[in-house]
Amino acid sequence: MNHTRRGSRARPAGRLLAATVTLLALLAVEVAEAHDAIPPGTADLSPSHRGSVSLGYQFVKVDGFALQGGTTAFVGKLESHSALLEVDWLLGERLELQVGLPYIKRQWVGGRMHNPTPCQPGQVSGCLTVPHPEAEFIDDGLFHGNWQDWSLGLTYHVEAGSFQLEPLVRLYLPSHDYSHFGQAATGPNRLRLELGADLAKQLAFSNFYYRVGYSYELWEKTLGIDASKNKARVELGYFLSPRWAVRALAFGQYGKGRYDIPLPPVGSRTDETWYQHDRFLRHNHAHAGAGAAFTFWEVYSVSLDVITMVWGQSVLRTDYAGTISLSRRF
């Protein structure tokens, strides 16, 4: 567990890392070699490449909490920095294995803090009547970092006429028993199974391509409550050259579970339901943004995406987020 004082080195370090990778990518364009372009996110099934490894950095800025009715409660701010590592490996000609593990570092500053410490005599808020000594207090204004969930996936690539069809199954397995109670929590610490498919196509005699996808994510129940999610995504892209592609993207989810309103009265926010509530809220949202990707030296590619939340219910409101990723095919 890493702790960094508010306003210290975590914020400049993250921005410096993103700026450095971007600069190296732009310099590489001058000596880049052209190769056949494919839509970002589509597997390269050529016999000369059997997989890829990618390393990404993600920055997220949250300002408030989106309530059920669409309004925002400005109860605090969250800053998140993540390192994203993933390895893809082709098993045969069409079956692809994906393994990933993110490291996430978050800081919450605000009034709605989640404190797992036991209630003192006369205390009716900001505590738990049934204490959870295994849970850390992470809404203290400091940065807290941890490994999140293993991502183990299988994707099957098949040509359906002029379309690329990609059924997928993905298992999310907590890497360890991390604390889930808190706005700055690493994640829900819940087993999840995602089943879905993506459909991609490059338009004939055109540099445009599009990709659409849908998944259903089954969640491990909490206090008997099912918080499974419907997830959708769409991407429209254009190849500026064999190396460069730009894209507009949108994604979102609509889940089961409970809404945040009505919240339990302050005096009852001390029981097991309050301790577990972040695990079974609906967390409905829709995000939209734009990005670019380019390939250099035949086997390397860099992508950059910037997004914002356009709608949300019972979820932290993303002000803006950016992801930059460097990958190498092998």
DSSP-assigned letters across all residues of 37-104: ---TT-----TT--EEEEEEEEEEEEEEEE-TTS-EEEEEEEEEEEEEEEEEEEETTTEEEEEEEEEE
Query: What pLDDT, in 10s, does the model give residues 233-261?
Result: 999 999 999 999 999 999 999 999 999 76
Segment 128-149 mean pLDDT:
93
Determine the pLDDT at residue 122.
81
Cα–Cα distance list, 39 to 78, 109, 157, 207, 227 (Å): 33, 39, 14, 10, 32
264, pLDDT greater than 60: no
3-state DSSP of 281-313: ECCEEEEEEEEEEEEECCCEEEEEEEEEEEEEE
Question: Among 136, 95, 142, which Cα is nearest to 115's?
Answer: 136
Question: Among 20, 19, 35, 21, which Cα is nearest to 327's?
Answer: 21
36, pLDDT greater than 50: no
Banded pLDDT at 28 (limits 50, 70, 90): very low
Distance of alpha carbon 80 from alpha carbon 62, whole angstroms? 8
Cβ proximity of 104 and 110 under 8 Å = no
Q: What percent of the chain has pLDDT over 90?
A: 70
Cβ proximity of 12 and 4 under 8 Å = no
Q: Is 228 helix (H, G, I), strand (E, B) or coil?
A: coil
Q: Is 158 helix (H, G, I), strand (E, B) or coil?
A: strand
Query: What pLDDT, in 10s, does the model give residues 266-312?
Result: 556 788 888 999 999 999 999 999 999 999 999 999 999 999 999 99
Residue with tokens 């490291």: 103
Hey, how many other C-beta atoms are within 10 angstroms of the C-beta on 231?
16
Average the pLDDT over each of 86-90, 94-98, 113-117, 323-327 and give the range with the smallest value. 113-117
- Chain centre distance of CA 218: 17
- Look at the alpha carbons of 108, 114, 120, 122 in this order and tell me if their dihedral is positive or negative: positive
215, pLDDT greater than 60: yes
| DSSP state letter for 240 | S
Cβ proximity of 188 and 278 under 8 Å = yes
Distance of alpha carbon 56 from alpha carbon 220, whole angstroms? 28
Q: What percent of the chain has pLDDT over 70?
A: 83
- Residue 234's DSSP bridge partners are 212, 250
Structure tokens at 251: 């994604």
- Residue 313's DSSP bridge partners are 284
Distance of alpha carbon 281 from alpha carbon 276, whole angstroms? 9
Segment 9-13 mean pLDDT:
45
Determine the pLDDT at residue 267.
53
Phi and psi, residue 255, nearest 5°: -115, 170
Query: What pLDDT, in 10s, does the model give residues 193-214?
Result: 999 999 999 999 999 999 999 9
Cβ proximity of 310 and 325 under 8 Å = no
CATH numbers and ranges of domains, the chain: 2-329 (2.40.160.40)
